[in-house]
Amino acid sequence: MDQRPVGMFDSGVGGLSVLSAFRELAPNERVIYFADTANFPYGPRPAADVRKHAFAITNRLLAAGVKLIVVACNTASAAAIADLREAFPVPFVGMVPGLKPAVRQSRSGKVVILATPGTLDGELYARVVDEFGRATKITNAAGVGLAELVERGEASSPAAHAIVREVLGPAITAGADTVVLGCTHYPFLAGVICAEFPGVGLVDTSEPVARRAVQVLREQGLEAPPGAPGGIDIIVSGDRAAFRTVMESLGFAPVREAVA
């Protein structure tokens, strides 16, 4: 049993999709969530820059006493997860593009990966495609502007509908029947995607990643004691009030600032 908190980070509100799933599975765990909104978005940044921010955030979370860190960002996972695991003495759980379940789910053998440029250009993504995508037609779709809309609390806006139509339309018209949500911001666009393309299947890895985090806690004897109250503390590198407003609009109750 270990009462220390779990650390989790993303460039903004996207990682809340993972946090929500984790809280469902482990309500007695306390989570310190770091939103690096001062450096949002990560997607267009060079990998070295994303890696630098990931290392700085990890040091901040370790100073707060976390026992495990969930990199709740596809871009940061692609750019930094291997280096983080080598450099720091805590377990890390990261995001992996959900291509394997998408290939199993697709009836047409055509899948769209909706992700940021930073994820699509990463070595991790290339390895996953090489391993699981050989018998499937994979179309990369860079969701430019979508994470920004979610970050502003405009996930269901007309602009979101327009970008989703533009980005996914050609591949779906060509027969793709499954969309992999390759950025943690994108599960908050699921309703828009389904409205624009009824019948298309979505693959969201938020819950599997949360499940993996719970498994690692169990395997390493790091679980919180039964009956522990759990909860969420936040650290926001940018505008705290704006982040809280969007966080609450996404269904989270008011939370407190973390103290290292």
Active-site residue set: 73, 183
140: CB partners within 8 A, 6+ apart:
112, 113, 115, 120
**Residue whose C-alpha is closest to residue 102's, from 112, 93, 117, 94:** 112
180 forms beta bridges with: 113, 203
- At residue 114, φ and ψ (nearest 5 deg) are -95, 115
Q: Are 95 and 15 in contact (CB under 8 A)?
A: no
d(CA 35, CA 239): 10
Burial class (CB in 10 A: 0-12, 13-18, 19+), 253: exposed
